[in-house]
Structure 1
Amino acid sequence: MPAPSLKTATLPSADRHMWRLAWPIILSNISVPLLGLVDTAVVGHLEDAVYLGAVTLGAVLFSFLYWGFGFLRMGTTGMTAQAHGREDHDGLRTLLGQGIGLALAIGLVLIIAGSPLITLGLSLMEASEATRALAHDYASIRLWSAPAVLINYVILGWFLGLGNSRVTLGILVLTNGVNILLDLAFVPGLGMTSDGVALASVIADYCALATGLWLVARQLRRMPGRSDRAALLSLPAWGALIRVNQHLFVRTLCLLGATAYFTSQGASFGDDVLAANAVLLQFVMMTSYALDGFAQAAESEVGRAVGQNDWQRFARSVGAATRFSLITATAASGLLWLCGPALIHLLTDIPEVRALATLYLPWMVAMPLVAVWSYLLDGIFIGATATREMRNTLVVSLLAFIGLWPLLEGFGNHGLWLAFLLFTSVRSAVLGGYYLHHRRHHWR
């Protein structure tokens, strides 16, 4: 598959390589918020905002149950990239086996223990009784996809660590394509509501798992080295994986906690504000996945440079990722400024939700220009497996968010969006300070 044209022959070598890695990730990442847009549009065109609110609350809940274990993707990418840089093929096989084993175990535990977690999670969210009841039904269906989702995280992280981003594109496009088609079949086609959206996600996740395992088997047949059964069965051999991932786990919970806190506080303003914020959060997610394309490419390149102990390559990779990230953030901000109202009208027919989403749209224009640094730096730190610093940054940022919100609550939903923007600013500033420290003392 040829890369989309960017006149790469005119770019410096590091930029060309970064672009070749990033463009499949960007396309695959954009397919994720496009799925969210379809979910929002499908239920946003139903007769009552309660269905959109239910899908929003259910999706936030599953951000905890699933993306709380997003370290399975991130940790796998950083460690795989470093092993790839060292040309440690036995280690690559071991990392894959350990990651899949850990993901399967966590997925089964979630199925067994998920029901009380769903009840507890929804009880902590401020929303109407009708919205919570529909969200519970949605979440109970989504729960069955846990093993597939978590193993897919490992598979995607492993291929990205190998620098094979086109496989990531294929898997995610398949997943989200199937999901979108089933959304349309179940909701407008069969007359289902939020439960149809959940069922579509479960089926799509298992289709992706089957495809991912087939691609892994094909890759292993081509790869030199052998699997180390002792490393898979010996708990001490899992030490490096656990050390890296434990910090990422806390970091991810804090990030998702900020999103859940934002959604919960927005719900306290009523179902229409909750629905309007859900529409705007789709724009945040779309922008974040575009920015994350270059961040994830940086994970692979930085990890490989660290594995080779090549700090010139490290610096070139960081520079290339920075240039592309800034261009992307500026373009996203301009697009939302020019086309935001039209996009809102595509997502919902409910007049009250349209009006509220348009009122708060300026916050979306500012968000990419502030958030770009946090995504870029995350990619660098994941590649270097400097996960303790990422954990500390998110703890500080979440505490700042929770502390600032009571001071801004009098400004209503505008104050909530300002607090969220300041949370993102603190995250970028603290991680930036860590980066400057490491460049002076370690990464050189």
Structure 2
Amino acid sequence: MLKATEEVLFYARQYFDIRIWSAPAALINMVLLGWLLGMQNAKAPMFLLIITNSINILLDVIFVVVFEWGVAGVAWASLCADYIALFCGLFIVQRMVSGFYEKGLFARLLKEILNLKTLAPFLLLNRDIFIRTLCLQVTFTFMTIQGVSLGDDIVSANSVLMHFLLIISFSMDGLAYAVEALVGKSIGERSIRKLKESIYLTVFWATLFSVLQLLLFYSFGAWIITQITSIEVVQQEAIKYLPWLIIIPMTSMLGFIFDGVFIGMTRAVDMRNAMIFSLCVVYFPVWFIFEEQGNHALWIAMNAFMFARGISLLWIYRRLSHKQALIV
């Protein structure tokens, strides 16, 4: 569907055919990380992510640099890292729950899992989060599709610039995970005061981190690009669109934090609606308006989309607060 060049399609297929086998481990790892964060155990997920990424980097060097496996080596490195992280995660969770084992526990849990009344709330919650996440992935997929149509240099430059979004998400996701757990605990205690304190404190730190990232990208963005790729034409293209990445920490900050807030409140429907609004009413119309600007249009639309996510969730939160409906 991307209508890419034969070379791009060849390497994409080579990567996919290997990487797809890590799907079971990657999905289970998400469950384990979610459970650990929900238990307010932030150290274990940090340990797992450090292990996963360290092994991935080490195997990348071995498979790509030493064995010269190329793109296939990158895929094998990620696959191995995912399964090693899975075994480590299962070991940690087993240690945490070992004291709760009791006779007939597994049979009772299996019965609850197969009970539709028990399962329904989870499926409904996951349905809305799935739609919300699907909308988010549509934006990145659309950028890739349009980037391919603009040429290999553009799609390569956008791939480099996506690393800036990863840097942002690494810092913001940490705060989002923290506010998820804190908000969930506040809801459980039915404490509006603690809920609001958690949100205000998280927004304060998120704003501080966003300003620091903006200054980092402004001062060292071009240098970071040269460290990611040594291809000069890709460097030049990436630097051309760097200004849009310099401001994206500020435009995306509220979206990251209020995602965590609404997950903590289990208000997945509101998250879904805000995401659909941001995608259909903001992202695509903004891109269409600036389409003649080429790749600039994609990054303008991405900034507008990120900003709309945060503002729409903030608006819903304030409406719920005024109606005194934060805790139902």
Supply the distance in 1 between the matched residues of 2:28 and 2:11 (Cα, whole angstroms): 28
Select 2:306's aligned residue among 408, 424, 440: 424
Residue 291 of structure 2: aligned partner: 409
Residue 101 of structure 1: aligned partner: none
State the 4+ residue runs in structure 1 displaced beyond 6 angstroms. none
The question of whether the paired residues in 1 share the 8 Å contact of 2:255 and 2:310 is answered with yes
Residue 63 of structure 2: aligned partner: 186
Asked if 1:443 is matched to 2:320, the reply is no
Gaps of 5+ in 2: none
| SS of residue matched to 2:73 | helix
Supply the distance in 1 between the matched residues of 2:277 and 2:210 (Cα, whole angstroms): 24
Asked if 1:280 is matched to 2:280, the reply is no
- Letter of the structure 1 residue corresponding to residue 174 of structure 2: G
Select 1:317's aligned residue among 186, 190, 198: 198
Residue 39 of structure 1: aligned partner: none
Aligned pairs (5 A) from 1:372-383: 372-383=253-264
Supply the distance in 2 between the matched residues of 1:424 and 1:212 (Cα, whole angstroms): 32
The question of whether the paired residues in 2 share the 8 Å contact of 1:126 and 1:265 is answered with no
Structure 1 position 367, deviation (Å): 0.4
TM normalised by structure 2 equals 0.95
| SS of residue matched to 1:349 | coil
Structure 1 position 295, deviation (Å): 1.0
- Letter of the structure 1 residue corresponding to residue 132 of structure 2: R
Structure 1 position 356, deviation (Å): 0.9
Supply the distance in 2 between the matched residues of 1:126 and 1:332 (Cα, whole angstroms): 35
Residue 104 of structure 1: aligned partner: none
- Letter of the structure 2 residue corresponding to residue 405 of structure 1: W
Residue 116 of structure 2: aligned partner: 235
When residues 393 and 126 of structure 1 are mapped into structure 2, their CA distance, relative to the original with a 3 A threshold, is farther
Asked if 1:261 is matched to 2:136, the reply is no
Supply the distance in 2 between the matched residues of 1:385 and 1:316 (Cα, whole angstroms): 18
The question of whether the paired residues in 1 share the 8 Å contact of 2:60 and 2:77 is answered with yes
Supply the distance in 1 between the matched residues of 2:62 and 2:283 (Cα, whole angstroms): 40
Residue 80 of structure 2: aligned partner: 203
Supply the distance in 2 between the matched residues of 1:354 and 1:137 (Cα, whole angstroms): 25
Aligned pairs (5 A) from 1:54-133: 124-133=1-10
Residue 46 of structure 2: aligned partner: 169
| SS of residue matched to 2:290 | helix
The question of whether the paired residues in 2 share the 8 Å contact of 1:151 and 1:209 is answered with yes
Residue 246 of structure 1: aligned partner: 127
Supply the distance in 2 between the matched residues of 1:340 and 1:232 (Cα, whole angstroms): 49
Residues 132-172 of structure 1 show CA distances to partners (whole Å, capped at 9, x for unaligned) of 12101101101111111111111110010010000001111
Bigger mean CA deviation after superposition, 164-173 or 283-292? 283-292
| SS of residue matched to 1:237 | helix
Asked if 1:271 is matched to 2:152, the reply is yes
Count of aligned pairs: 321
Residues 107-138 of structure 1 show CA distances to partners (whole Å, capped at 9, x for unaligned) of xxxxxxxxxxxxxxxxx224212101210110
Supply the distance in 2 between the matched residues of 1:155 and 1:312 (Cα, whole angstroms): 30
| SS of residue matched to 2:132 | helix
Structure 1 position 232, deviation (Å): 2.3
The question of whether the paired residues in 1 share the 8 Å contact of 2:286 and 2:300 is answered with no
Supply the distance in 2 between the matched residues of 1:319 and 1:223 (Cα, whole angstroms): 36
Say what the alpha-carbon RMSD is for the aligned residues: 1.4
Supply the distance in 2 between the matched residues of 1:339 and 1:324 (Cα, whole angstroms): 22
The question of whether the paired residues in 2 share the 8 Å contact of 1:148 and 1:209 is answered with yes
Supply the distance in 2 between the matched residues of 1:332 and 1:299 (Cα, whole angstroms): 23
The question of whether the paired residues in 2 share the 8 Å contact of 1:159 and 1:168 is answered with yes
Supply the distance in 1 between the matched residues of 2:315 and 2:219 (Cα, whole angstroms): 34
- Letter of the structure 1 residue corresponding to residue 99 of structure 2: R
Supply the distance in 1 between the matched residues of 2:146 and 2:178 (Cα, whole angstroms): 34
- Letter of the structure 1 residue corresponding to residue 303 of structure 2: L
The question of whether the paired residues in 2 share the 8 Å contact of 1:298 and 1:321 is answered with yes
Residue 188 of structure 2: aligned partner: 307
Structure 1 position 336, deviation (Å): 0.2
